[in-house]
Every structure is written in C-alpha cells, then in structure tokens.
Amino acid sequence: MRIALIALAFFAVSGTALAQQSAPSAPPVETAKEALPTPKDPVAAKRAVALGAELRCLVCQNQTIEESNAELAVDLRRQIREQIAQGKTDREILDYMVARYGDFVLYRPPFKATTALLWIGPFLLLLIGILALRRVLAGRRKRVDEQPLTDAERGEAERLLAGTGKTE
C-alpha cells in the first residue's frame, strides 16, 4: 500500500513537472507573491502551518509536511498556501488532500474499516506479547514443579543460601 502511494505521488509530481515544461508559457493571472501568505498575513500563515502539521509527508512518512524538506512536502505546502489564498476553508483543503492522496496523507487518519488496523494494531501486538509471556512463564513454572531437587541439589542450595558452603 505504501509503495503504491509513493509511486502515485512520484508520478503525480513528475507528471506535473512534465505538464509545466510542455505547457506554453502564458503569463500567470496572479504572481506567486500574491498567492502565498506573507508575514503581512499572519492568520493565513498560522493556518498554513496548522494544516501542514495535520498532513503526512508521503516521502518521509514519519514527518508532517511542515517538518519535511522533501520536494513533495514543499509542493503540498505550496498547494495549501494557494488554497488558503483562494479562500478555501481548512476542511475543504483537507478534503482535497484526502481525495488526491487518500487517508494516508492525514497524520492522524480517521477510524474506519480501512484504517482500523492502524488504530487497533498496536494494542493487538501488546496483547499478543502479554499472552506469549504468560505462556512462557507458565511453561517454566510447570517444568520446575515436575522436576524436584535431588537430596544433593537440595543440600547444595541450603549451603549457598546460608552463605557458609563453597562449591567445588
């Protein structure tokens, strides 16, 4: 699944780059400076940072797009800023990203049938580990109970516990 998402992201980015290279260079309607939040617009900048913290970098996978310096993360941050400049709400921007990249793009995916294993998996692994530990400990206890000490082993244990005996 991850490989498919990475491949999809790679092809989307490379396809965008090819389309930009082959497209005729028409003057943009608005310049990049006008589309991006600037320090003059701190509310939009804070929204962009907050939205970036909610989205996973599809390249790094363990970082948000706000933390990542991967090209795709930079592109996603730019898309967020452009959509904020267009007046879209946070929910509309997140819905757009999910529609384009799937639930995996969300750093905290919603609980539903396709993501249930992500949410329940760690607890299942912990439960399996506890059950395996109990089984191993019960097996050890059973083996100890089945093989009592001989008289020589018992005498050696008593000397060791008393601290007076030395082993040969």
**pLDDT grade, residue 75 (50/70/90)?**
very high
Q: Exposed, middle or buried: residue 141 (CB in 10 Å: 0-12, 13-18, 19+)?
A: exposed
Task: Tell the CATH superfamily of the 2-105 domain.
Answer: Cytochrome C biogenesis protein (1.10.8.640)
Give the residue with greater pLDDT, 154 vs 34: 154
Residue 106 forms beta bridges with which residues?
A: 55
Least-confidence region, from 26-35, 55-64, 152-161: 26-35
pLDDT in tens, 98-150: 999 888 888 888 888 887 887 899 999 999 999 999 999 988 887 766 777 78
Alpha-carbon torsion angle 85, 87, 92, 94, nearest 10? 20
Residue 55 forms beta bridges with which residues?
A: 106
Q: For residues 89 and 95, give the distance between their C-alpha atoms in angstroms, rounded to a whole number.
A: 10
